[in-house]
């Protein structure tokens, strides 16, 4: 982590400091429309975020030998997904 560099680079070009310093006057409140029941009836709440999965995953704790984990990690990115797919396959009868 670089301490002197900001976490993000702003992509907007507006003067946010000027907007933050602005004080709303009573005359500006008069310009705002009155909320009606019709407006409120059209309102939608957008919670955002990721949609719920049809088959959500469950968190478990599983102890595996270190060499098993290292072998899976050595297969590269996505090793946990590949491990889950392999565990989802039916067991082979001996």
C-alpha pair distances (Å), 38 with each of 29, 33, 41, 44, 68: 21, 13, 5, 12, 62
Q: What would the DSSP string read from start to end of 10-47?
A: ----S-HHHHHH----HHHHHHSPPP-HHHHHH-----
- DSSP conformation class of 92: P
pLDDT digits (tens, 9 = 90+) for 9-65: 666 667 788 888 888 888 888 888 888 999 999 998 888 888 888 988 899 999 999
Residues 83, 86, 90: CA angle, nearest 5 degrees: 150
The model's pTM: 0.43
For residues 56 and 3, the model is more confident at: 56
Cα separation, 83 vs 72, whole angstroms? 7
């Amino acid at each position: 982590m670089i301490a002197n560099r900001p976490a993000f680079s702003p992509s907007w070009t507006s003067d946010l400091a000027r907007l933050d310093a602005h004080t709303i006057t009573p005359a500006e409140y008069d310009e705002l429309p009155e909320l009606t029941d019709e407006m409120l009836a059209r309102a939608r709440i957008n919670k955002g975020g990721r949609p719920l999965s049809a088959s959500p995953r469950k968190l478990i704790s599983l102890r595996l030998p270190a060499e098993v984990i290292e072998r899976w990690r050595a297969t590269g990115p996505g090793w946990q997904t590949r491990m889950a797919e392999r565990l989802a396959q039916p067991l082979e009868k001996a």
